[in-house]
Amino acid sequence: MNLNAYIRQRLQSRKILVMTHAVAGFPSLEANWQMLELMAEAGVDLVELQMPFSEPMADGPTFARANQQALAQGLKLEQYFALMERAAGTFSFPLLMMGYYNTVFRLGHVAFCEQLRLRGGVGFIVPDLPVEEYGDLFDHSARCELSPVMLMAPTNTDARLAQIGRHAKGLVYTVARKGVTGSKTDLAGGNYDFVSRCRQATDQPLGMGFGLRQGKDVRQLQGQVEVAIVGSALLECWEREGREGYRKLLQELVAGCD
């Protein structure tokens, strides 16, 4: 699947898209499946499926705890890929692998890309891998028709944004603020100045994440970016309110697309 084309096509009927997130194996693989079913029911556009890692440097406390518990419960990489394969064969939304470079390194660039494509993934997000260290991972991604989703941050210089933008494919993940995932983000004018800088660096669709929590956050990003990315708020909702609360939050987030 061409991720860029998919996003452009979906935007013909929505003002903005929603990408959600699940940590494989937390609180269980069975719970992950229920989450994915609810995402499909609500009409979510894209999903990040995270392979847990022991030191998730870009993740805040909620996701860090989820990563650690999933690993403590024995989640293996094959179980992760099996979940992705089942989801790709069941749901219409594209799946992006989110994880850390340790997983890619252990498999090797060739095997990682081939396995991801085989299991139905359309791309990957590796937040701890700087653009200059991708090496042949770009070539193998292209060969397997995968989108390496690059991150752009407010602390990047314009030169750095341009360097990242030259390699961006499918979607660019713009980080709404400094720090890690989970904390509330103030979606004020400073973020829009940053988005303008990102537009100068790439013609790929932009997604914004880190701290989006409600439907009004999604609505506020209309006309600024193409994709609103929500993760920690959903996991916290699942733990706090269970399946029905999770369903309501998903419906609220998707309602913010219109």
* DSSP class per residue in 84-135: HHHHHHH-SS-EEEE--HHHHHHH-HHHHHHHHHHTT--EEE-TTS-GGG-T
Percent helix, strand, coil in the chain (nearest 5)? 50, 15, 35
Output the pLDDT for position 189. Answer: 52
Three-point CA angle 212, 216, 219, nearest 5°: 95
Distance CA(224)–CA(191), nearest Å, equals 9
Distance CA(59)–CA(78), nearest Å, equals 23
Q: Which sequence spans correspond to the domains of the chain?
A: 3-255
Q: What is the CATH T-level fold of the domain 3-255, as seen in this structure? A: TIM Barrel (3.20.20)
Q: Is the pLDDT of residue 239 over 70?
A: yes
- Give yes or no for a contact between 93 and 42, defined as CB atoms under 8 angstroms apart: no
Q: What is the pLDDT of residues 154-195, one digit of tens each?
A: 999 999 999 999 999 999 999 984 444 434 545 555 578 999
Work out the burial of residue 121: count CB atoms within 10 Å of its CB; fewer than 13 is exposed, 13-18 middle, 19 or more buried: buried
Q: What is the pLDDT of residues 104-124, one digit of tens each?
A: 999 999 999 999 999 999 999
Sign of CA dihedral 88, 93, 97, 99: negative
CA torsion angle 195 201 205 208 (round to 10): -30
Annotated catalytic sites, by residue? 48, 59
12, 1, 207: which is closest to 88 by C-alpha?
1
Distance CA(197)–CA(80), nearest Å, equals 36
Residues 6+ apart with CB under 8 A from 78: none
Q: What is the pLDDT of residues 36-74, one digit of tens each?
A: 999 999 999 999 999 998 876 767 788 889 989 999 999
- Evaluate if pTM is beyond 0.95: no
Q: Is the pLDDT of residue 85 over 90?
A: yes
Distance CA(41)–CA(250), nearest Å, equals 9
